[in-house]
Structure 1
């Protein structure tokens, strides 16, 4: 099974840059998309409902903002739009599809880079989300939580880590939260199961020549329950084309 996760920073803009042409050439079983920045009513063109997939969207109430999507070749047993928290669901940040013993989530974590208020909302979400994740861990189903988590976990996960320690996405509190996620909470960073190399980034600032110089951050993850750790076969970051300021993350599982 191949799963792709991609923050498109506007699904309509990414379509114009060739994302769906590229997707049609892949062998993905599930595709998780973040930052659609569109209402489903604006996505009536067949390109946004690619052939062979069951397509689901969870929009933000605010037009042109946030939003997640999930495409699946196999029809899910159940699709859950939202996590049940109004402040999160109004921004379209969580979409879950359930398939037998494995549930897959498209997640768009807050960015705190625009100011103190948004960083506070991000911390509030993190405080609520960790107990929620621990509950998932106690259940009988395995989870693959795909998406833009907006945190670079370790120094290896961004180019200029020394100068970014006071910047949202690499704050000490955020990194400690990821330590808990991949430590006591028991989840696994699927990418790092098969790739321990440096300079494996999924996001680049549009400022300067960040893309050209590979001055990036690894913000996009597929976070899995430990029962799936031995099922990870391979992982790659697609950078031959640019569909947004993020790059698609592809992971193959023996499922």
Structure 2
């Protein structure tokens, strides 16, 4: 079973850059997408090939949006309460519906429901629940913000506080979700862009980034708290234990991609039973003819029986 996670940075732009060729060549059985950033009625025709689509576009124009692609129609769909698009291959359905089962939310998550940040499905052909997450990027705390040294205007730590609030609430939610999957007799895998690099192996030139959003000590500590041999396993790090990367994000700016100086912020976090089935893990850096489909690469893991 091949599972991929891919922040496509806008599906319409990704299609122009070769997303369809990537999907055909990679041939994942399951693919979680983030930052789809497209209204349901504007999705490019046939862009998802012969996959079933489960998509929460959110309500913020041009931002966020998460999806799961599957070979078979999902056995169940769950959301945080937002309407979703569930579409068979070869159809042009664009109507959002309440097809998903609402998930009781941990305190602090309800304000994120309209943003299109989370959707999960039960696979029909495997006892596995698959979730796609786009975690807020965040920002710097107020004491680290210096005007003129930031790409964005100082905000007094508002974006940082918002992300930390999400992390606190989502930790409670993730615990519930993992246990609920186990109660249904299913393994669980969280896929997505978590906007956190966990360790020094997860950022090129990590020393210069110790005061960068996504690599702050408190963010890294949060990530560590979600992982253990009994709860969730970082599958890519399990298979690549001692080497930097493999990176999954490179800025569009400068020559970080050409120099392969990136960040590893896209994850497969799986329950131990599924993690033990992981055989290979790699990152698709670019599509055909060397064209970058996104500023992220697709993180692909092959799981055995």
Establish whether TM, by shorter chain, passes 0.5.
Answer: yes
Alpha-carbon contact 2:20-2:48 (below 8 Å) kept: no
Alpha-carbon contact 2:230-2:272 (below 8 Å) kept: no
Which residue of structure 2 lines up, in the alignment, with residue 69 of structure 1? 67
- Quote how far apart the aligned CAs of 1:185 are: 7.3
- Quote how far apart the aligned CAs of 1:86 are: 3.0
- Quote how far apart the aligned CAs of 1:137 are: 3.5
Q: 1:101 aligns with which of 127, 137, 140?
A: 127
Which residue of structure 2 lines up, in the alignment, with residue 88 of structure 1? 112
Secondary structure of the 1:251 match is strand
- 1:120/1:185 CA distance change after superposition, 3 Å: farther
Large movers: runs of 4+ above 4 Å: none
Which residue of structure 1 lines up, in the alignment, with residue 299 of structure 2? 249
Moved more, 128-137 or 118-127: 128-137
- Quote how far apart the aligned CAs of 1:62 are: 1.0
Q: What is the alpha-carbon distance in structure 1 between the residues aligned to residue 177 and residue 40 of structure 2?
A: 29
Secondary structure of the 1:216 match is coil
Which residue of structure 2 lines up, in the alignment, with residue 168 of structure 1? 213
Which residue of structure 2 lines up, in the alignment, with residue 224 of structure 1? 270
Secondary structure of the 2:276 match is helix
- 1:36/1:73 CA distance change after superposition, 3 Å: same
- Quote how far apart the aligned CAs of 1:176 are: 0.5
Which residue of structure 1 lines up, in the alignment, with residue 45 of structure 2? 46
Residue 112 (structure 1) aligned with residue 162 (structure 2):
no
Q: 2:197 aligns with which of 134, 146, 152?
A: 152
Where does 1:197-216 land on structure 2 (aligned, <5 Å)? 197-216=243-262
Secondary structure of the 1:5 match is strand
Which residue of structure 2 lines up, in the alignment, with residue 31 of structure 1? 31
Work out which of the two has the higher radius of gyration on C-alpha atoms and give 1 or 2.
Answer: 2
Residue 56 (structure 1) aligned with residue 50 (structure 2):
no
Q: 1:138 aligns with which of 179, 182, 206?
A: 179
Q: 1:188 aligns with which of 213, 233, 241?
A: 233
- 1:187/1:74 CA distance change after superposition, 3 Å: same
- Quote how far apart the aligned CAs of 1:198 are: 1.4
Q: Deviations over 1:26-64 (max 9, x none)?
A: 221111100011111111x3233422x111210121110
Secondary structure of the 2:238 match is helix
Structure 2 gaps, min length 5 = 81-102, 140-151
Structure 1 gaps, min length 5 = none
Residue 126 (structure 1) aligned with residue 167 (structure 2):
yes
Secondary structure of the 1:25 match is helix
Q: What is the alpha-carbon distance in structure 1 between the residues aligned to residue 71 and residue 161 of structure 2?
A: 37
Q: What is the alpha-carbon distance in structure 2 between the residues aligned to residue 41 and residue 176 of structure 1?
A: 40
Q: What is the alpha-carbon distance in structure 1 between the residues aligned to residue 117 and residue 230 of structure 2?
A: 21
RMSD: 1.7
Alpha-carbon contact 1:134-1:185 (below 8 Å) kept: no
Moved more, 166-175 or 85-94: 85-94
Alpha-carbon contact 1:156-1:199 (below 8 Å) kept: yes
